Structure 1
């Protein structure tokens, strides 16, 4: 198999134009091209003066690959294709006498459970929330009726926090073993659109993710795995540094010397329990800020120019960074084109925001987190749990600022920059449900964060004209950008001081988003399988 990169075609090329373009580019006869597969499709919209084109990476087969490589040895865009197929590390023995446990059924737990099931280990998966259909109803209960279920919401339940998000499937992690391709292929197998295998910034969207995660659960169960909902782990059993099992809120004890902790970043009660049991963990940086909303058309015009609204491009996104004078970095986070701002709290009397999009990305507004990085040494020293405590204080205050009804405090961008409270909305209608309360966000975050964001918004306007328009809306607060702690693991992927405990995913501080969490789930499942099989290295 060979690969060609940087094959460019016009934006409106015909569906059947790829093959002749590939044949022409390679300088071969059509019958010499045996097969080809689209590996990646992207476009570069940075230069507004040039015509926008699709840029393709294609894997292909020809009759005589060696001869073609020799003839095109000077062409850096034609090479042998890397082997991205997944290699299983081993299989469980027929007389398996121990079943591994997976705690949490978000993206990391799903892929950890799926891989273990595919290897024959018949995992038992424990999820504190409900199955995805019922969880969706409970989540809408907060959004439409101001009723929070602390165990079934945006954060907890089948699919994890990623289910109620934009469904982004791209990441900047290093992935030398191409585990990300395994993640994408499994999603497609479970019903995700096939285009996620090749578009440069793939996404699924909430409604489609619901069916995908259901199908993946069914695959796990068909392979002998077991998924138990509404099963919250309240204790871990440790003897002489070796994990022996877990205890559930029902009082049931489940014995296993191999447990994957695939917690979400909001499992604060579990973090406290683990800290109390002496499991080694450390504070790590995270970010806090607001959600910002603009008309999606404004973003499309700024990013795509005359191509704004083109059906093959869809809603435009952005990525922004500003280094403020006070030494803080302000950046856009989890940008959701054509999406909505959602209530994402999992705890009573607290307000947290997040962003969500459907696959179509056709809602009127674009939204993104505008967040400021904070560090444990400078901003929340002390216990590894200090970051959680800071989040809780900010979220509780946001609840009060919003009127103690799960409405969120909000402010027009122009008023925020000017330092005065907002009293009425302009042309941008905020999408947050249950609703917003206009106020002054100046005391919603630490003073250094407010100062940095006030400086960043006009700076971002230089990159996206209209970004700091007066009636764009800021909605507070965004605090759960990532886990504020790390349950540190060693080279064997196990806890530094509890053998048999495998911390993984976003809650453990080893992922940030669906794709990276899925990849970490695969890696942690491989490590656990090797441990159970006695494989070293």
Structure 2
């Protein structure tokens, strides 16, 4: 028994631009250029907000209005002050320029910007905005306004400060100035407070109020080993040493000076040191990664500022405290690690062991 194959006719589909008609109904797709543009991950603002978001924003506005007890005390924080590139001195300028004074005058509705004293304002944050949706690139500032100093230097601003109302994310009132130091000063302040408390209770026999240090008789220093000299290991060792512990830092790689020579040999002569390269050594894997300091924890939170000020304490430039996306650069990270190393801290209880074995 044989099976006969049916005759298969060749089917030729027409091109989209062809005028021929298929035997079955088809739906023509619109041209790609006529499709509506879909904005993905765009922030909803204004009328695009959901009703729940509008309700939360109203509640925040009410809370901000009730929190202000005296408008002439404390500091007003002015955010999202956009200055065009043409009116700004440049990215390295961190002071108060004439263009920034004009934006501050618009925010507080002061008629003459040139009459505002620059000494009453301090720049907290400066970032660069060059998105395509903008007509021109701008520098975006966050500025703290000292009300008492502003009124002393320019008394005619009293009426404008009295009419000033807080707006969430734009104008915020802080009754007390936020003062945050580096990690070393924070620990010394905590030790001073604890020493004064123990001194009152009679549990401390040797305490120096000026130096802020105290010694507990009969107590031994705890011995702690920290494995790895990356950012976490270095800061953990620094905090433990400042608290009075006997810290030993263990690292499988080499110190930063020898590590730099080994990386140079790898790049030039293709000689690989298994325990001293881009991944292993003092400073961790990020030492030769341009030192970007971008974080999502909080732009101006106290914890982030404490870490940033600690880096400045050990040799980092001061502009990382203000730049929107700060970075150090490998050329600055290497001397900073030299200053942060145990032999340079001068604590006397911060040892370092270089272990090439596993």
The bucket for the TM-score relative to the shorter chain is 0.5 to 0.7
Q: Secondary structure at the match of 1:161?
A: coil
1:79 matched to 2:164: no
Does the CA-based 8 Å contact 1:132-1:157 persist in structure 2? Answer: yes
Residue 120 of structure 1: CA displacement? 3.3
- The 5 A counterparts of 1:27-176 are 27=110, 34-48=119-133, 50-63=135-148, 70-76=162-168, 77-81=170-174, 83=178, 85-86=180-181, 87-88=186-187, 90-91=190-191, 94=215, 95-173=219-297
Distance 1:121 1:176, change over 3 A: farther
Residue in structure 2 matching 1:8, options 82, 97, 106: 82
Residue 210 of structure 1: CA displacement? 0.4
For residues 210-264 of structure 1, the C-alpha deviation after alignment (integer angstroms, 9 at most, x for no partner) is: 01111112586312242424235xxxxxxxxxxxxxxxx5xxxxxxxxxxxxxxx
Which whole-Å CA distance do the structure 2 matches of 1:3 and 1:161 have between them?
Answer: 37
Specify the alignment match of 1:24 in structure 2.
105
Does the CA-based 8 Å contact 1:114-1:220 persist in structure 2? Answer: no
Residue 111 of structure 1: CA displacement? 1.4
Which whole-Å CA distance do the structure 1 matches of 2:306 and 2:324 have between them?
Answer: 16
Distance 1:212 1:84, change over 3 A: same
- The 5 A counterparts of 1:457-468 are none
Q: Which runs of 5+ in 2 are unaligned?
A: 1-74, 152-157, 192-212
> What is the TM-score normalised by the length of structure 2?
0.56
Q: Which has the higher contact order (CA 8 A, sep 6+)?
A: 1
Distance 1:74 1:80, change over 3 A: closer
Which whole-Å CA distance do the structure 2 matches of 1:206 and 1:154 have between them?
Answer: 12
Residue in structure 1 matching 2:323, options 190, 199, 208: 199
Q: Which protein shows a greater Rg? A: 2
Which whole-Å CA distance do the structure 2 matches of 1:195 and 1:79 have between them?
Answer: 24
Q: Secondary structure at the match of 2:237?
A: helix
Residue 117 of structure 1: CA displacement? 2.8
Distance 1:121 1:146, change over 3 A: same
Residue 5 of structure 1: CA displacement? 0.3
Q: How many residues align?
A: 234
> What is the TM-score normalised by the length of structure 1?
0.39
Which whole-Å CA distance do the structure 1 matches of 2:161 and 2:228 have between them?
Answer: 48
Does the CA-based 8 Å contact 1:129-1:158 persist in structure 2? Answer: yes
1:210 matched to 2:334: yes
Which whole-Å CA distance do the structure 2 matches of 1:23 and 1:48 have between them?
Answer: 24
Which whole-Å CA distance do the structure 2 matches of 1:85 and 1:131 have between them?
Answer: 31
Which whole-Å CA distance do the structure 1 matches of 2:214 and 2:355 have between them?
Answer: 28
Which whole-Å CA distance do the structure 2 matches of 1:133 and 1:211 have between them?
Answer: 9
Answer 1 or 2: which has greater helix percent: 2
- The 5 A counterparts of 1:224-303 are 224-231=348-355
Q: Secondary structure at the match of 1:43?
A: strand
Residue in structure 2 matching 1:179, options 295, 299, 303: 303
Root-mean-square deviation (CA, aligned residues, Å) is: 3.2
